[in-house]
Structure 1
Amino acid sequence: MVRPLSVKLVVEVLRGVAQVDFMPSAVCGLLFVVALFAAGWQYGVYGLLGSAVSTAAGYGLRLRRDTVEAGLTGCNGCLVALGCAVFLDPGRPATVVVAVLGAVVAVVVTAGLGVLLEGRGLPALTAPFCLVATAVTVAAPGFRRLWPESGGPAALPVPATGGTGLSWEHLWHGFFANIGQVFLMPQWYVGLLFLAGLFAAGRLAGLMACVGSATALLTARVFGAPAEAVEQGVLGYSSVLVALALCGVFVAPDGWSAAYAVLGAAAATVLTPALGAVTAPFGGHAFTWPFVLTTLLFLAAVPAIPRLRRI
């Protein structure tokens, strides 16, 4: 049975939201959208807007239909629009314009990186989001209609100071916040909804998200990370994505790839404050660069490791 065009587009937009966590599932995407609206109605609207604009741009540019239909075109646009809502004033018309333009540019950047990386068998991941969002946040203070004279929203905290004693509340809040921060949302209950979406998409996906988050917490505890940063999830979101990518998404799932994913998740946790320090002069926004860099390097090494097999 052929779906009506309107239903087909809705499904593809929802898949675009779900593909932020590598899930080509409209049901997962719907739960993710519910989580965004739970964080704030503007985040739900911007997330849907970014995915919809990028999906439409994919069709307009005549990109591969199967790629667009799977939601792979919409995921970076979703994150770019969310980044605009989080770091700029979501109520300003100029922010909406930047979100739309950024979502379109993300499609072009995704296509360009795909051409560059395809020969090496590596995916673009969320690098298009990182590139566009970095450009927007660095440029925004130079535009009055994007950045008010009183100053814009506070930058993400760079994990460098604060007490290191972790209470049980810090740990369980941080466990779910790590998952929510993939979408730039620090609320633990939002992360719980995202986790529900991952389990709806597949048991392995939900399990590996938990493994990635738990690895980040353990690594942060061992190295004495500030409790506030741990609780807000700013150290562990890349670890969640790395764990998903290295066991089940790009690498065949088994005990060896699970161990490889844990190693990668720990590396991403350490890399996150390093990149936060590098980007401190323009706000300390590491975005998902730790995930991108860690995953690309670990995937590039897979052919040299007989125990592992690419999917």
Structure 2
Amino acid sequence: MEVLRGVAQVDFMPSAVCGMFFVAALFAGGRQYDVYGLLGSAVGTGVAYGLRLARDAVAAGLHGYNGCLVALSCVVFLRSGHPATVAVAVLGAAVSVVVTAGLGAVLDTWKLPPLTAPFCLVATATTVAAPGFRRLWRDAGTPAALPGPATGPTGLTWEQLWHGFFANVGQIFFLPQWYAGLLFLAGIFVASRLAGLLAGAGSATGLATAWALGAPAEAVGQGLLGYSGVLVAMALCGVFVAPGGWSAAYAVLGAAGATVLTPALAAVAVPFGGHAFTWPFVLTTMLFLVAVPAIPRLRRI
């Protein structure tokens, strides 16, 4: 159960049933995603138990979700079929537990959660180092990489619009398939109707923001700009901030900001894959959470 909750906690859901939906979505995207995602969550959970970290946090999956994402990033950016990649996925998932504990201790001063920052740090370090190892690096571009300067048509077709809505949810796990995103969104709704509505609002905000600013239609349709907005919207209304009309508006504003930030961070990451990971979500959410005590209409949970 803890392993399934670890997968579900990528989207803040401490639900094993939600985790089952997520595992089905990973399998729909490709068997290797399913295997690596479960492996990463299992390793993170096992290491956390071995280090005797708080059992309630481990049982809730809070030490499995970063490991899950680290392992999935290995599928996308490294040679997923090579034993060396499996070893790196296991090592990275284990290291993410230590990074989570360390960041949690540091960020507790400001009452901030580590979010997916441990995943971002480990995955960034791995992809930067990978070109130096022949058994790990693959030269071909990946479908999760955001293009550089905006090129190509910006007008969205109806198909790209609704594909992008679901792909925004799937791209949190590096999956651009709309049907995988649909399964992820269904899992969120099963765990929490409010979280499902906020995930949908974050995705719609990401789509609207990217389109309004003239992002390439292909990138928008693949969910490459709106995925962080999905996480930000959930985080700022219901997860870390008390739900309500003002926090919902705050969440939408944060989702738009994360969408704008995504291409900037992706451009910085071009030398090692061109992916912003979930840095836009992490940075935006932390800044917005720091501001909450100064805003009388909002209240931290």
Task: Give your verdict on TM over 0.5.
Answer: yes
Distance 1:15 1:59 in 2: 15
The alpha carbon displacement at 1:157 in A equals 2.5
Aligned to 1:158: 147
Distance 1:99 1:282 in 2: 17
Aligned to 1:300: 290
Distance 1:309 1:45 in 2: 39
Aligned to 1:237: 227
Give 1:50's match in structure 2, choosing from 22, 40, 44: 40
- SS of the aligned residue for 2:93 comes to helix
TM-score, normalised relative to structure 2: 0.98
Aligned-residue RMSD, C-alpha: 0.9
Q: Percent identity?
A: 76
Deviations 1:217-270 (A, max 9, x none): 111111111001100100000000000000000000000000000000000000
Q: State whether residues 87 and 152 of structure 1, in contact with CA within 8 Å, keep that contact through their aligned partners in structure 2.
A: no
Deviations 1:260-309 (A, max 9, x none): 00000000000000111111222212000000000000000000000000
Give 2:10's match in structure 1, choosing from 17, 20, 25: 20
Aligned to 1:201: 191
Matching of residue 180 in structure 1 with residue 163 in structure 2:
no
- Mind listing any 5+ residue stretches in structure 2 that lack a counterpart? none
Q: State whether residues 70 and 119 of structure 2, in contact with CA within 8 Å, keep that contact through their aligned partners in structure 1.
A: yes
Judged with a 3 Å threshold, the aligned counterparts in structure 2 of structure 1 residues 282 and 86 are, in CA distance, closer, same or farther, namely: closer
- Using the TM superposition, name which of 186-195 and 278-287 deviates more: 278-287
Aligned to 1:38: 28
Q: State whether residues 156 and 285 of structure 1, in contact with CA within 8 Å, keep that contact through their aligned partners in structure 2.
A: yes
Deviations 1:30-68 (A, max 9, x none): 100000001111100000000000000001111111110
The alpha carbon displacement at 1:152 in A equals 4.4
Aligned to 2:267: 277
- SS of the aligned residue for 1:240 comes to helix
- Using the TM superposition, name which of 86-95 and 158-167 deviates more: 158-167
Aligned to 1:5: none
Deviations 1:170-222 (A, max 9, x none): 11000000000011111111000000000000100110000000001111111
Distance 2:269 2:46 in 1: 32
Residues 1-311 of structure 1 aligned to structure 2 (within 5 Å): 11-147=1-137, 151-154=139-142, 156-158=145-147, 160-311=150-301
4+ runs of 1 displaced by more than 4 Å? none
Distance 1:49 1:90 in 2: 13
TM-score, normalised relative to structure 1: 0.95
Matched AA of 2:180: V
Matched AA of 1:281: P
Distance 1:111 1:226 in 2: 39
Distance 1:90 1:281 in 2: 20
Distance 1:208 1:223 in 2: 22
Deviations 1:125-162 (A, max 9, x none): 000000000011111110011125xx244360225222
Distance 2:213 2:141 in 1: 29
